[in-house]
Amino acid sequence: MLAVRLPIFAGLLLAAGSLCAQQDQPKPITSVAMFKVTPDKMGSFMETMKIFPPVLDKLMADGSLLGYGVDADVLHSGGTNVAFWISGPGFAAIDKSEKAIGDAMKANPEKMKLGWGATDFGAHRDLLVRSVEGKMGKVPAGTLPFTDFSEEKVKPGKMPVAMMLFRHFEKPVLDKLVEDGVIYGYSVDVEAVHTSEPGKIWFLTIMPNLAAKDKVRAAMMAAMAKMPESDRTALEEIEKDVFVASAHRDSISEALIFKTK
């Protein structure tokens, strides 16, 4: 098995070395507020969400923010089902957005009461994540994309290998799909402030529609088919050594509000 793995590890190390400069660049921070909203109250919740775009658009215009949006789950798993996210180049951007949101909330007490009444606050959860890899193409104005999430748990000490696997095998395929307009973009996120078990990592693909998921899968399968059988076998073994298979989860969301640069 060692003889089989050596060529693939050599390729991974070369890939890691070529990306060192890119890894030194600042990585975006995204604040995610997750809510549980019942279907009959979604309209009330979204009326409340409409108070935030005017203040967030100003922050995007002056370069403080990279994007924001509200996503609703397409696949319902019984937990939180709506996410309000704001992305910026660092924590300073999140600080500015929190102040702007706070001001908007104070200026609209009745709409805030309507929004809180639509949610189960006991199920509410916040996340702060950092994008460690990603690329966004041009998203037409007014577009409400779908986002495909793959959540994984990486074993202790294996995060560098997990990222090398992604950068060497999946990233080139996704980059080409972004360039061809098949998908709008992708991101690999980890917690910037750890509120859950260490090792969580999310792989996001932003798509124009659900049909794009078939195209992404076909492109990945085609890339895998080009690999020698020994490399495919080695890759499967390495993945078993890196990820906790039982922790894997998938989800799909659809944007109700979406703005990005």
For residues 97, 148, 157 and 22, what is the CA-based torsion angle, rounded to 10 degrees? Answer: -60
The CA distance from 189 to 200, in Å, is 9
Mean of per-residue pLDDT scores for the chain: 90
The CA distance from 155 to 247, in Å, is 11
The CA distance from 37 to 230, in Å, is 48
Q: Angle, nearest 10°, between helix axes 42-49 and 109-117?
A: 150
- What is residue 76's predicted lDDT score, i.e. its pLDDT? 82
Instruction: Using the predicted structure, report yes or no on whether residue 18 has a pLDDT greater than 60.
Output: no
Per residue, the 3-state secondary structure of 26-79, as one string, reads: CCCEEEEEEECECHHHHHHHHHHHCCCHHHHHHHHHCCCCCEEEEEEECCCCCC
- What is residue 26's predicted lDDT score, i.e. its pLDDT? 60
- What is residue 75's predicted lDDT score, i.e. its pLDDT? 86
* The pair of three-digit structure tokens given for residue 4, joined into one six-digit string: 């089989």
Number of H helices, E strands in the chain: 10, 8
Q: Angle, nearest 10°, between helix axes 229-242 and 2-18?
A: 80
- pLDDT tier, 14 (very low <50, low <70, confident <90, very high otherwise): very low
User: Cβ neighbours of residue 232 under 8 Å, at least 6 residues apart?
Assistant: 224
pLDDT tens column, 149-208: 999 999 999 999 999 999 999 999 999 999 999 999 999 999 999 998 899 999 999 999
Return the sign of the alpha-carbon dihedral for residues 228, 219, 147, 28.
Answer: positive
Mean pLDDT confidence for 99-106: 97
Q: Which residues pair with 126 in a beta bridge?
A: 33
- What is residue 25's predicted lDDT score, i.e. its pLDDT? 53
SS3 content of the chain, % helix, strand, coil (to 5): 45, 30, 25
Residue type, 233: T
CA angle 41, 42, 44 (to 5 degrees): 65
Higher pLDDT among residues 108 and 17, named by residue: 108
For tokens 């957005």, the residue is 97
pLDDT tens column, 48-100: 999 999 999 999 999 999 999 999 999 888 889 999 999 999 999 999 999 99
User: Cβ neighbours of residue 81 under 8 Å, at least 6 residues apart?
Assistant: 35, 36, 37, 72, 73
**Max CA distance (Å), the chain:** 67
Higher pLDDT among residues 17 and 244, named by residue: 244
Instruction: Using the predicted structure, report yes or no on whether residue 42 has a pLDDT greater than 80.
Output: yes
Instruction: Using the predicted structure, report yes or no on whether residue 6 has a pLDDT greater than 70.
Output: no
Higher pLDDT among residues 6 and 245, named by residue: 245
The CA distance from 106 to 101, in Å, is 9
* The pair of three-digit structure tokens given for residue 240, joined into one six-digit string: 């078993």
